[in-house]
Amino acid sequence: MSENSIETVVGEYITALTGTSVKPIPESTLESIGVDSISLVKILVFIEKKFGVSLVDSGVSRENLETFGKLTDFIRSLSES
């Protein structure tokens, strides 16, 4: 999956989930784009299903969830391995 499509798919899901019109950019914190703790769990489940990865087994950390860009980079690294 290309770099842009990961960002597009995850960004569109976050936008739909949070009901915001703010388009996530790599520097966006998840909080700034309307992601709360419940939304975060839904996003992580979506990522696991959509990209066929196991976030728990992969060692996802708070650092991986600091910004939209770090999250999509993390997904990309899992998808490539």
Q: pLDDT value at position 59?
A: 85
Domain count, the chain: 1
Read off the pLDDT band of 74 (50, 70, 90).
very high
pLDDT tens digits for range 18-71? 998 888 999 999 999 999 999 999 999 999 999 998 888 888 899 999 999 999
Asked if residue 2 has pLDDT above 60, the reply is: no
Q: Tell if the pTM clears 0.85, that is, is over it.
A: yes
Name the residue among 50, 60, 55, 45 with its Cα closest to residue 5. 50
CATH number of the domain within which 44 lies: 1.10.1200.10
